[in-house]
Amino acid sequence: MANTTQYDPKKVAHAMAVLRANGGNALKTAKQLRIPRTTLRQWASGMPAPRPVPAIPNAELVDDVSAELATKFENAALDALEPEALGVALEKASFKDRVLGAAIAIDKRQLLIGGATSRTETLSVHLVGAVALNAAGSSTLAELLGRRERTDSEQ
């Protein structure tokens, strides 16, 4: 007998939002939601499923569910840092575990809202020799360094 599980559009939208929060990891999302991975992939790609399921929800519904989940993750991050508000269970967690939980919640929130989850900075350095610094003028770094070297050696 064929499996004819029905999914309502809200559940499909929720699954797509969780998939987004998991960075597109269909296997992880399938395990969390107990939905077949192939079904998740079909929903994500917009392909029709081989069995009767509702139409893929529109992007607006997925965005609405994503916004709801993002708010829940934001609240979870705040709650993790204020254990007295939640009760005894979280108070027993170490500070490190609470911060780690908050960091994961923030990362998932950022994935849901399309925000940055990492940061890259570039530093450009141009090395200048002492001769070039001396030629630049009297109040140059080389002159200041020269004064400091003399002060250190005089002591």
- Rounded-to-integer distance, Cα 152 and Cα 2, Å: 86
Is residue 118 within 8 A of residue 103, CB to CB? The reply is no
Q: Helix (H, G, I), strand (E, B), or coil: what is residue 54?
A: coil
User: Of 55-64, 65-74, 144-153, where does mean pLDDT reach its minimum?
Assistant: 144-153
Phi and psi for 54 in degrees, rounded to 5? -70, 165
Question: Residue 97: how many CA atoms within 13 Å on its side-chain side?
Answer: 7
Residue 53 banded pLDDT, cuts 50, 70, 90 = very low
Instruction: Provide the 8-state DSSP code for 83.
Output: G
Residue 64 banded pLDDT, cuts 50, 70, 90 = confident
* Region for 84 from its dihedrals, namely left if φ exceeds 0, alpha if ψ lies in -120 to 50, beta otherwise: alpha
pTM: 0.52
Say if residue 1's pLDDT is above 50.
no
Average pLDDT over the chain reads 74
Domain boundaries along the sequence of the chain = 9-113, 125-155
Q: Helix (H, G, I), strand (E, B), or coil: what is residue 123?
A: coil
Residue 31 banded pLDDT, cuts 50, 70, 90 = very high
N-to-C CA span, the chain: 93
